[in-house]
Structures are given as structure tokens and as C-alpha cells.
Homo-oligomer: A and B are copies of this chain.
């Protein structure tokens, strides 16, 4: 049985714990969460995990859990940013545990965080562990899937992809970081201050694709544009008046010799249905041949992130030590037994 620790029991971590609880060959052995209200709660009481979580108390002491349980693999879902989770990743690797993290910036940190990436890689190799960052995006829709499609091309001139989704189900944190319900002026101020962030991980998706395709980009340009609503929209956590902002259209462009060769768009808003916006994932490759793909509705982000991470566990256990990316492992796929 592969001993598994889950670090971070928010929606994603609790979801992965539930999946691991039902996964043949895997066994939950520990749970870590820094939030006071989670400390001491038994994992069995979280997210209908039940018996596979019996006897496992959620702890704030990561080091103690790792030392006592000696996990084969740790699933870390606490934060999007390399700087924030760097000490925790060091701790996991020092204990010789393989690790999959949902931190968006860890999906391809080699260019955005070269020093931390090199340190983590060395630490992983030294401790014979594999470290992988993945999730729906970055990790799948706007990088891995595009690259697979490029496999049938003899030339790729330009990539244009969009992930159009709906935020209506999300809570106050997402409303705030996407600027939902702000006036145009508040939106611009939020962008300037860094409170409104849009999508995290475009840099990593573009770095991964440009490396894989053999493009040495000049630069990556990101823009966060307000999605101004001409109608009233309402959700459990947000009200958008006509003329105000229903969400953020985050656009990232990869430039090669002054030309835009990658364009990724991720317009995220509440009540897309009221504005007659059809959600979906769209990929266009301009090359030989052209490819025009649509997934409609879009691949659901939360589910896909958890599922992909759990489906990658066997790859992360396969002995390819070091800091790895979705480019390093055999074709990701579901398997009901592994």
C-alpha cells in the first residue's frame, strides 16, 4: 500500500483525500492543515472520507506528520505561489517523500523561479524523490493538451487558445481576486495594487509550450482586462450592476521575433449564461496542418485538477527523481486500478 499524506484540506485537498481513500493500492496515513479550526479533526469526518480516514488527526505540525508517517507520496494543495510553499516542499522532499502539488507556479517553474527550481530539483534527486506540479490549468488545457495536438503538425506558426468559464459557484476569495462586482475604477485600482490577479499560471503554460516547441521567446506579455457587464448579475457571493465588472479577462501573449506566436485567453466571469456567453475550451493551432478544437462545456476546473493530480500519482511514484513536469511522464490517463 502506497502511504499518502495530504497537506492542505481546502476544497482541492479534501477532494484528493477522498479520491485517494477509494484508490486501489493507496492508503491515507496523514493530514496536515495550518488552520486552527482544522487541527485535531479526524480525516474521516472530512468530505465523507469515512473509514479510510479513521484514526488520522489533522495536524498543524508538518514535520512531525512526515517524520511519523514516512509517506511514499504527499499531495500538497495550500497555495498557488512558489515562494509561499517553498519551505513546505523542502520539508516534504527532505523526508524522502514524492510530491504532487497543485501550486500553479510549480507546473513549470524553471524559467519563472530558476533558483528555487534548481534547489528543489537537487533536493529531490538527493532524497530520491519526484516533485511534480500539475492541475487543469496550468498542467492540462492550455499547455499539455495543446502540445499533444502539435504532435500531428510538421510546422507550428501560432497558437491561439481560450478557456471560457463561469465563476458563479465560487466564494468570496475568487470574487475578490477576479474583481467581480467592482466598478471599472475599482477594478483598475485592484489590478495596480495586485489585489485582482486574474489567472495564476499563464507564465508557466507559455514557458512549458515554448520550451517543448523549441521557441526562445522574446517576452511574455500579460493583460488583465475587465469584463464589463451590460446587465445585472447576481450570485450567492456577488452582485454586478450594469456598467460594473463581472470578471476578469486575463490574456497572455508569447512573443517571438516581435510577433505574437502564443495567445492564451482566460475570461472568467459570473453568470456567463445571462450574457449569452457559451463556456468552453478552444484551441487553434495555425500550422501544417491547422487544428481547431472545442471542448464544450469547458473541462470543469476543480474536478479536473483533483483527478489529474491523483491520476499522476503512479507517474510520480515511477522513480523519475527530481523536479519534473507534465512533459516528463508517459501519456497521462485514467486507470481504475492505479
Chain A residues within CB distance 8 Å of chain B? 19, 136, 140, 144-145, 147-148, 150-156, 212-215, 287-289, 291-297, 299-300, 303-304, 306-308, 310-312, 326-338
Contact = CB atoms under 8 A, between A and B. Distances in A.
A307 B300 CA distance: 31
B296 A292 contact: yes
Q: Which of A215, A289, A310 gathers the greatest number of chain B CB atoms within 10 Å?
A: A289
Nearest to A136: B152
A220 to B, nearest CB: 19
Contact of A336 (B145, B213, B291, B299): B213
A295 B296 contact: no
B336 A331 contact: no
Contacts of A145: 148
A154 to B, nearest CB: 4
A214 B336 contact: yes
A336 B326 CA distance: 19
Nearest to A154: B307
A157 to B, nearest CB: 11
B330 A214 contact: no
A310 B151 contact: no
How many monomers of this chain does the complex have? 2
A151 B134 CA distance: 12
Nearest to A141: B152
Given A213-B335, A327-B330, 7 more contacts: A19-B154, A152-B303, A152-B307, A212-B335, A213-B336, A292-B296, A329-B331
Nearest 7 interchain pairs by C-beta: A151-B332, A152-B304, A147-B333, A150-B334, A214-B337, A214-B336, A154-B307
Contact of A326 (B293, B328, B331, B335): B331
Contacts of A306: 154
A156 B299 contact: no
A311 B214 CA distance: 13
B334 A327 contact: no
Contacts of A287: 334
B294 A294 contact: yes
A131 B150 CA distance: 22
Contacts of A334: 147, 150-151, 153-156, 213, 287
A268 B148 CA distance: 25
Given A327-B331, A333-B212, A333-B213, A308 B151 contact: yes
A312 to B, nearest CB: 8
A154 B312 CA distance: 12
A153 B335 CA distance: 9
A329 to B, nearest CB: 6
